[in-house]
Structure 1
Amino acid sequence: MGLIEVRQGVLPDYGLALPGGVRVTASGDPSSPVLTRFFDGYDRAFILPDEREELAGFEKCLALNQTHRRAMGRTHSELVAVLEDEAGTLLGGANFLATSMTRPGVPPATVALNYVYVEEAARGRGLLRQTLTAVRALTTTALDLDPDGNSPALFIEQNDPLRLTAEDYAADTRHSGLDQIDRLAIWARVGTRIVDFDYVQPALSTDQQPDDGLVYAAIDYPGEGVDAGLLHDHLESFFAISVRKGQADRPGGVASRQLASLAARTAQVPLLAMEPALDWLRAARSTEGIESFRDLAREARG
C-alpha cells in the first residue's frame, strides 16, 4: 500500500488505493479541491453548533501547514481526506492533525482525528477501519516517519451521552441515524478507550463556546495509560492548530488550564474501557449522581 502524488499545488495531494476498490485522496492545501469534496460530506454529517467547523475554519487550519510545520519543536501536518469508490461516489472523509513526538518510549507521532464521517448509504462496509488505515499511512508519509516503525497514536473526541442536552442528543441522533450509544459501541469495536482526563474542547471560534459535552479517547493505544508528557504535547499542538488556528490562548484559558494540569503530572493518564459503561446504559441502570460517561466508565469497571 503506497501513496502516490496526484496533484501538485501549494502542497501535493496524495492518492492511496485500499481493498474493495476504495480510493483515498488527501491534501494539506487549502486551495485543493479535496477540501471542497470533504466539506460536502462533512456539512451533512455535523450539525451541533459548538462542534461545527465552517469551511473558512478548515482553510485557516490547512494554511497553518505553511507557518506551523515546525512549531513548538514538533513537526505537524493538518490534512483532509476523502474516500470514494471506483465510480467517484463519496463514501466518507476525515480531517486530522498529525504531530511528531520525540519523547523516549512513546509512539513516534500522534493524530488528532478532528472529524470522521461515513456516508449513510456506505455504512456497514468496514469503512471506519479503512479510514483509520488510511490515516496511519498518510501520517507516516506526511511526517516522514519510518514505515517499519511503531504506529502513530490516534486520539478522538466523542459526544458524551450523559452531558449532551436532551435536545442535542435527539437532534444529532435523528440527523445521523445513529444513537449516541450505538456510535460509541462502533468506536469501542476498533479498540477505543476513554482517556481519564477532565477534557474540554476550547471554542473553535469567537462565535462559539467551549464544549464540555465531550469525552477524549484513544484508539487502539498500547498499554493501560497514556504518557502525560505525550498527551500534553499532543493537545498543545491540537489546541494551537486545529482548534485555535494559530491564536494563542489567554493565561488561565480553557486550553492553558488543561496543559498546565498535564505539565504538572508525572503519572500516566489511565485508559478506561467503554464496554462496561455501554452495557450499563443499555440495561437502563440508573445514572443518578454520575455526571459524565467518563465517570460512568470508572464506576462500571467494578
Structure 2
Amino acid sequence: MTGGADNRLIRLALPGGIRVTASDDPASSVLTRFFAGYDRAFVLPDEREELDGFEACLALNASHRHAYGRTHSELVAIFEDEGGTLLGGANFLATAIDRGPALPPAAVALNYVYVEEAARGRGLLRLALAAVRQLARIALGLAPDGPTPAIFIEQNDPLRLTAEEYAADTAHSGTDQVDRLAIWARIGTRIVDFPYVQPALSAGQQPDDGLIYAAVDYPGDAVDAGLLHDHLESFFGISVRKGEAEAPGGVAATQLAALAARRAPVALFPMEPAIAWLRGGRPADGFDSFRTLAMAAAGGEA
C-alpha cells in the first residue's frame, strides 16, 4: 500500500488496481460517492444513517478530535477500480487508546462497510479491512508499521430480527443473515460476550437491540474491559450520539457503567459452532440471541 494526504484526503493503492480514497470532511465528494452505494446496501430503519447524519459525524472532527481525553478521526472511504467504478465503501471511527503496550494502540468502530453486488466474490472485504487499519493509523498519526488497531463491528442478530426484518434485509442485500455471519467468521470475527444495545442514531429512531457486537481478528481470547469501555464511549458519543449528551440512565450510560465497573476481560466466542447449529436446522428457541447461542456452542452446551 502507498498513502498520501492532499486537501484532507487520504489515498491508498491496493493490489489488483483498487484505489482507496478517504476523507474526514463532511463537504467532500467522497461522502456523496460513499452514500450512493450505502443507500443501496442498508435498509432496516434503526440501522440506517441518513446523509445528514454522516455529515454531522464528520463535522465532529473539528470539535471532538480530542474528546474524552483521546484522539479521534471519523472517516468515509470508497473503493474503486482503475476505471473509477465504485466497488464498495466504509465509514468508521478511529480512536487512539492508550491502555498499555500489551493492547492495541487504537480501536476502529467499523460503522458501515459494503461491497457492491457486482464486485462480490473477489476478496474485497479482506482488502477493505486492511485498508481501514492503515487509514486509521494515518488519520491518528500512528506509525504505519506499528501494532494493528482493533476493529469492532455491529452485525444483525438473526435470532432477534423479526421475520419481516430478516426477509427485508436479506432480499435487499442479496445475502442471507446467517450466510453473512459465515463470511465474517471466515476472516476471524468473534462475538463479544457483552449484552450490547446500540443507542438511537437520531431522535426519530429507537435503540437497536437486534445487533451482535463482534471483534474482527482480535489478538487473544478476550477484550480488555477498559479498552472496550474507551472504544464504546467514543463510538457512542461521536458516531451514534453525534456529540449530543444522553439523558441520565440511558442505553449508552448503562453499558459504559457496567464496563467501568468490570475488572475481568470480556470473552470472545467463535461464530462457527452457532452457525452450524442454525444451518443444521436445530431449534434455537432456548436462546434469546446469537450471542447466547455462541456462548453455549463454544462450551459444548448447544
Q: TM-score, normalised by structure 1?
A: 0.98
CA distance in 2, matches of 1:14, 1:262: 34
| Deviation at residue 146 of structure 1 after TM alignment | 1.6
Partner SS, residue 212 of structure 2: strand
Which residue number corresponds to residue 86 of structure 1? 82
* Residue of structure 1 equivalent to 2:5: 5
Unaligned runs of 5+ in 1: none
Q: Kindly provide the CA deviation profile for residues 165-215 of structure 1, in whole angstroms up to 9, marking residues without a partner as x.
A: 000000000010000000000000110000000000000000000000001
Asked whether 1:65 is paired with 2:61, we answer yes
Tell me what 2:221 maps to. 224
Deviations 1:211-247 (A, max 9, x none): 0000100000000100000000000000000000001
Distance, in Å, in 2 between the alignment partners of 1:149 and 1:136 is 11
Q: Give the number of equivalent residue pairs.
A: 298
In structure 2, the partner of 1:256 is 253
CA distance in 2, matches of 1:97, 1:140: 12
Map of 1:25 onto structure 2: 21
Letter in 2 for 1:116: V
What does residue range 142-161 of structure 1 map to in structure 2 within 5 Å?
A: 142-161=139-158
Q: Which residue of 1 aligns with 2:109?
A: 112
C-alpha separation in 1, matches of 2:146 and 2:79:
25
Regions of 4+ moved over 3 Å: none
- Report whether the alignment pairs 1:75 with 2:71: yes
Find the aligned partners of 1:273 and 1:232 in 2 and give their Cα distance: 21
* C-alpha RMSD over aligned residues: 0.6
Tell me the CA shift for residue 249 of structure 1: 1.2
Cα deviations across residues 131-153 of structure 1 (Å, max 9, x unaligned)? 00110110010001122221000
Instruction: Kindly indicate whether residue 204 of structure 2 is the aligned counterpart of residue 207 of structure 1.
Output: yes
Query: Could you say what secondary structure the match of 2:76 adopts?
Result: strand
Shift of 1:108: 0.2
- Partner-residue secondary structure (3-state), 2:90: strand
Distance in 1 (CA, whole Å) between partners of 2:194 and 2:135 is: 28
Alignment pair present for 1:165 and 2:143: no
Secondary structure, counterpart of 2:111 in structure 1: strand
Identity, in percent, stands at: 73
Partner AA of 2:278 in structure 1: L
SS state of the match for residue 5, structure 1? strand
Structure 2: gaps of 5 or more residues = none
After superposition, the C-alpha distances for 1:25-52 in whole angstroms (9 at most, x for unaligned) are 0000001000000000000000000000
Write out per-residue CA displacement over residues 65-123 of structure 1, whole angstroms, 9 at most, x where no aligned residue: 00000111100000000000001000000000000011112100000000000000000
Report what 1:35 is aligned to.
31
The equivalent residue for 2:171 is 174
* CA drift at 1:4: 1.6
Q: In structure 1, what residue type is equivalent to 2:162?
A: T
Amino acid in the other structure paired with 1:259: L
Return the offset for 1:2: 2.0
Secondary structure at 1:39 match in 2: helix
Q: So what's the TM-score if we normalise by structure 2?
A: 0.98
